[in-house]
Amino acid sequence: MSVGLVAREIGGQVILDMTASISQEVGFVVTNGANGSIAIPPPPAGKTSYFSVVSLVNMDGWRARLPGVVLSGTTLSWAYSYPTRGWGFFSANCRIHYGYY
């Protein structure tokens, strides 16, 4: 859906276009601090899928790690990784929101 303001001259020529594509959240998944994946529905024709990651824990001075997230087709997957000598890090429980715009 596009919303906004379009101003036209009397002849119909657009002189101002301030429209935007509004996002629609479809759902979310909670990671529970573990790697995983889910199948998500495809976006409607002409729309693009998106995701966003929100930590559900105190990031504790950046010792907590957010997962790397990949959206491939209708598969949303996530995995946690740490530096080689990553002692003291932990996987942050997160909510991954997904939808389309």
Task: Give the pLDDT confidence score for residue 38 in this predicted structure.
Answer: 98
Flag whether 90 is in a domain: yes
Q: For 9-91, where are the E strands, in sequence order?
A: 14-21, 24-30, 36-39, 49-55, 64-65, 68-72, 75-79, 90-91
Task: Give the pLDDT confidence score for residue 35 in this predicted structure.
Answer: 97
Task: Give the pLDDT confidence score for residue 100 in this predicted structure.
Answer: 93
Task: Give the pLDDT confidence score for residue 17 in this predicted structure.
Answer: 81
Q: Which H or E run includes 7?
A: strand 2-8
Task: Determine the structural domain holding residue 46 and report its residue range.
Answer: 22-100
Flag whether 12 is in a domain: no
Task: Give the pLDDT confidence score for residue 73 in this predicted structure.
Answer: 94
Flag whether 4 is in a domain: no
Residues of the chain with pLDDT under 50: none
Give the residues across from 95 on adjacent strands.
Answer: 30, 54
Task: Give the pLDDT confidence score for residue 10 in this predicted structure.
Answer: 93
pTM of structure = 0.77
Task: Give the pLDDT confidence score for residue 80 in this predicted structure.
Answer: 94
